[in-house]
Chains A and B, each alone.
Chain A
Amino acid sequence: MELISQHAKKIMEGCKDRAREAGLRFGDETLEYIVTNRDLLELSPKIMIPTLYDYWVQDVEVLRESGRYELYPNNPYETVINTRPPISYYNDNNPDWLNVMIFYHVIGHIDFFQNNLFFRHTAEYDFTSRALADKRLIARLRSEKGRWVDYVIEFSKTIDNLVGYYDLLANINQTDGDRSSSMLDFYFDVFLQHGLRSSMNTFSKEIERYNRMLREHPEDGELLFIKSITEKHSELEALYAKKLVEKKTVGRCDLLRFLMEYSPFLNREENRWMLMVMEVVRSTSLYFQPQIRTKILNEGWASYWHEQLFLGDDRINGHEVDFAIVNAKVTSMPRVGLNPYALGMRLFQYLEEQAEKGRMGLEYFQTADQHQRRTFDQGTGKGRDFIFHIRENYCDSMFINSFLDQEFVDLHRLFVVGKRLNQERKTWQYYVRSRKAVDYKQMVADSLYHPPRIEVAVADNKALVLNHVFEGKPLVRDFIQGVLLGVEFLWGSEVHLFTSDPVPVKAGSESDGQLKEERPKRIINWKRFRYAMKDRSLTRTLAE
C-alpha cells in the first residue's frame, strides 16, 4: 500500500474544489492509496480497515449463503472508508479520466459520511487509530490469555448485530439532565392512561383538579396534589419505584451491552478482561451500522454526483464515451435485479426535479387532473436544497418508504419480477409480477437489512431471557444453537430464547397437477417456541 502519485493527488484536489463549488461539504484532508490484489485480499476480510484486529475467521471463507437465497447482507468491500481522514483505494494503472470519475464518486461518499445524521457517532474520532489501539490490546490479551480471547471475540461477534444502534443515535447530543420523569408525570402519563380505570373523563378531571390546586395554593399546590393522589392510590408509589428501576436497566435491546453490564460471569475479577474485548467488538459493530443502512442512499448520492461533476469537469474533455461506458455499467437499471446505485441515483434525480417544480407540496398532491399534474411547475428552484436535505436526514428505509411512488415506478418502468419453473420447456421463466408502486416498495423494503429485535430480561432463577419480537419472520434456526452457546458462555448460566417458528399447515394436498397456478395460498401457523441453552445443550419446547 502506497500513496497515489503527486500527479493523481493534484487531480484529486482539483476535484475537491469543483465539488465544493457545487455545494458538497467535507473535511480538507483525505488519504488515497494504491492497492494491489494482494492488499485487497488482506483488506477485505478486515472490512477495508487496515488496522482492524486480527481474528482467525479472517483466514477462512465465510459462507454467507445457505440454500437458495442469500442469508444475510454484510458490509462489502468499498472503495472508501469512513475514517478521519477518509481513506480511499485505487488501482495503480487507472487512466486519469477514470481516476477523476472515481474521485468524484469517492467525494460523494465522503460528503455523505460526514453529513448524514445516521453517521453522527462516527464523526468524533478516527476509527483507524482506534482500531489500531484495539488491535494492540487484543494482541496483548492474546499473549496472556491465549485462545480464550478468540472465543470471546467469536461469541461477541455472534451477537454484534444486536447492539442498540438507535439507542446510541438517540442519546447523542442529549443532555442527561432531568430526563427521568417525576412521580407526577408518571401519574398522568402512565398510571391514569394505562391503569385499570383509565378513561378520558377521569384524566381531564384530574388535570383540572391539579390546575385548580396550583391556582389556589401557588406555594405548595403540587405537593398537596401528590399527597392527595398517593393517599387515594396506595399502590402508586410502589409502581413508580418499579418503573424507575426498569427505566434504569440499560440495553434492553442491546444484548451485548446488557451482558457487559449485568453478566455475573463477566463481572468476576478474573474475567473482567473479557469486557475489553467485547467493547472492541461492540464499538466496531456500531461504527459500521449506518453504512449498511444507507446503501441505496449512499451509492445513489455518490453516483448522482460523479455523473454531475464529471460531465461538468473541463479537464477531461474527450473522454465522454469512455465515461459513458463505465457509467452505464454502474448506473443502468438491470432488467432483473436491484442495483442500489441505479435506484438511488434515479430517485435523487427524480426528487430533485419534483422539488424543483414544487411538486412536493400539498397543492400538487391535491391536483387530481393528470394533465395538470404533468404540467405542474411552480419553478421554486428548490431542487438541490431538497436533495441535500434528504442526504442529511434519511436512511434507506425512510428514503424508500417516503419517496417511492407510482409516478417514479412508471417513469422508469419498474416492476417486480416473479420466477417460476416451466416443466415443459425446462426453463426458469421470469415474468412481470406487478407494476404497482406498493408492491415494488414492499419488494425493496423486504430486501433491506433488518436485524431482529431481541429484548433482554433476567428471569427469577437468574436465567437470561431473550425475547424475539415477532415481525412476521422466523429466525434462522440453524444458527440459534451457535448463538445461544456463546451467550450462555458470556452470561455464565442458562439462556432462554423465545421466538416464533412457522408450523406448516398442509393446504389441500389433493391438487391435480394442472391446477398448479391456483395453488391455495400457503397458510402459516405461528407458534411461540422456547429455545433453552443449558450446559451447552439446546432444547426446544413449545412455549404456549
Chain B
Amino acid sequence: MKKLQELYRRLEARGLSSEQRQVIEWELHLAKQVGDPERKHNASPPPRSRSLYRYNDPELLQQGLPSPITAMVAYQTLDRLLERDLQREKDGFPRKIRVGKLVKPGRDGDDKVVVIPTTVEEKLFHDQIRDESEGEGEGEGEEPGEGGTGEGEEGEVIGEQPVHEEQGGGSGAGQGQGGSHELESTVYDLGRILTEQFALPNLKDKGKKRSLTRYVYDLTDKNRGFGQILDKKATLKRVLQTNIGLQRLHDLTQIDTDKLIVSPRDRVYRILSKEKDYESQAVVFFVRDYSGSMGGKPTELVVNQHVLIYAWLTYQYQKQVTTRFILHDTEAKEVDNFQAYYAMQVAGGTQVSSAYRLVNQIVAEEELARDSNIYVFHGTDGDDWDTYGEEALPELEKMLVYASRVGITIAENGFAGSSRSEVERYLSKSGLLEDKKELLRMDVMSKESTEARIIEGIKHLIS
C-alpha cells in the first residue's frame, strides 16, 4: 500500500491530468478496501453451496448419479455440432455453442483441454441485483444468505473455509466435477477446431526456421549392399548400369532380364539415418494485467482470449510451443502455469511497463530470441498510471525487435467512460501501430463482448 502511494506521489510530482488522477485514485481506493494486493491476488471467489433444486433422488438414495457432464461427445459429434453452429451464422442467428470456456490445463504444465461443448438456454429469468462495480470488495451481507441449523447465537461465526490459493481454472463447465467422465483431449484439438471452424488464418511462414540440436531418425539415406528397405527403382538402375558396363546388353530395345547379372553392391537400400530437425519453435508470453480495475468482465475476456490464442498456436506450431505466464499490477511476476495465471484475483495499481520489462529481461537472459519465434499477448483494461507511456513505450520498442508478433488486447472496464484508455492513447500516438504494423496489433473490446467478438479479436491480433 505504501509503495503504491509513493508511486502515486512520484507520478503526481510529474503532473497528472484530472482524469488520470481520478483513475489512479479509484484504483487506490479499491486497493485500500481489499488490503494487501498480494494477498488479494491469491484469493478465490466465494464458495457456493448448492441450491434447493440441486438435491435429487438418485443421488440421495444412493442410486448413483449421471455425470454432471452429460455431454460426452465424441469428436465427430463435436464437429457436427460446430457445423450446425456455422450454419446458424449463415442463417443469420448468433452462434450458440461455446468452445472457448472449456479449457482446463493440467496442474503440472501438462496442458489438457476438456472439450465439452456448452451452451446456455436463454430464457427470461429473474436475476439477483448485481453490484455494477464488481471489483469493489465483496458484497458482504448483501447476498441473500442460506439456510442453516444447529447451535450458535446470532452473529456468531459458525465455520470458516480457507480461501484457496489456487483453484481449478476454466470457468463454466469442467469445473473439476466428475473427473473420470471427462473426455480429455489436447489443446491441439481445440486449436484445430478454432482454425477450421472459426476460420482463423494460418500462420505465415516467417522464414525463421532455425536448426535445433535435435535429430530425428528417418529412412531417407540410401546405402548400397545393405539396409532396411530395398529401393527397387534405384536398384534396377544400378543393375542396368553394371550390365551395360560389362557390355552384356547389346540391344537396348530388347532386354532379357533373365540374363542380367546382379552384383551385391547393386542393391540399393534405404537406411535409417540421423536427420537434423529444422522445425520452428515458438515461445508465447501471456501477459495479464491483474490490477484492481480489471475486476469482473475484463479479466474474463482477456483470459478467455488467451486460452484460445494458446490453443491456436499449439495447433499451428505442431505443439512446439512453450508458454510463459506473466501477471502484473504495478510490479510484474511470472507464474508457473495457466492455473495460477487464471486464478489470481485482481487488486492493486497498474504499471504496464513493469510487465514489458520483465518479458524483455526473460528473453535476454534466456537468449530465447535466437531459437524461437516469440509472441507476446498482453491483456489489459487500458488503464496505466504511466499516462503517456514514457516507460512502457521504450520497453515495447525493445520487444518489437525480436518478437514475431505483439498483440495487445484492451478490454474496457467501462469506468473511464467513453474516452479512450491510456494504453490505447499512447500506443496510437506513438505511431508504432502504423510503423510496425506487421509486428504490433491492438484490439479494443467493450466490456460486453461476446465470444464471437473474442474470436474476431484473435483474427485481428494474429492475422
Contact = CB atoms under 8 A, between A and B. Distances in A.
Interface residues of A, number: 123
Nearest to A66: B120
B50 to A, nearest CB: 7
Interface residues of B, number: 91
A113 B77 CA distance: 37
Interface of B is mostly: loop
A439 B146 CA distance: 11
Contact of A423 (B39, B46, B145): B39
A20 interface: no
A336 to B, nearest CB: 5
A168 interface: no
B49 A337 contact: yes
Given A41-B72, A79-B61, A428-B46, A504 B122 contact: no
A483 B122 contact: yes
Given A77-B56, A449-B53, A511-B33, A414 B148 contact: yes
Given A40-B66, A504-B131, A161 B162 contact: no
Interface string A457-499: 0000000000010010111111111110110000000000000
A57 B55 CA distance: 23
Contact of B120 (A435, A446, A479): A479
A337 B66 CA distance: 22
Interface in B340-377: none
B151 interface: yes
Q: Is the interface of A mostly helix, strand, loop or mixed?
A: mixed
B185 to A, nearest CB: 15
Contacts of B390: none
Contacts of B145: 416-419, 433-434, 439, 443
A125 interface: no
Given A421-B140, A452-B124, A60 B57 contact: no
B454 to A, nearest CB: 15
A94 B128 CA distance: 42
Contacts of B150: 333, 335, 413
Interface stretch (A10-18, A68-76, A190-198, A242-250): A68-76
B52 A448 contact: yes
A113 B255 CA distance: 94
Q: Specify which of B125, B130, B149 lies most central, judged by the most chain A CB atoms within 10 Å of its CB.
A: B149
B149 A414 contact: yes
B399 to A, nearest CB: 35
B141 interface: yes
Interface stretch (A169-177, A291-299, A363-371): A291-299
A62 B123 contact: no
Most B CB within 10 A of own CB, among A159, A418, A481, A486: A418
A59 B81 contact: yes
Given A415-B148, A430-B158, A326 B61 contact: yes
17 contacts: A40-B65, A59-B73, A63-B118, A69-B128, A73-B52, A161-B125, A336-B146, A337-B148, A420-B138, A421-B46, A423-B34, A426-B42, A429-B157, A430-B148, A452-B125, A475-B125, A504-B131
Given A41-B72, A63-B118, A63-B119, 19 more contacts: A59-B73, A69-B128, A70-B48, A79-B58, A90-B63, A98-B62, A161-B124, A334-B149, A413-B150, A418-B145, A419-B143, A473-B126, A474-B129, A476-B126, A482-B94, A482-B122, A485-B94, A502-B129, A516-B137
Interface of A: 37, 40-41, 43-45, 56-57, 59-74, 76-80, 89-91, 94, 98, 101-102, 105, 147, 151, 154, 157-162, 292, 295-296, 299, 326, 329-330, 333-341, 343, 412-423, 425-435, 439-440, 443-444, 446-452, 454, 468, 471, 473-483, 485-486, 502, 504, 509, 511, 513, 516, 519, 522, 524, 536
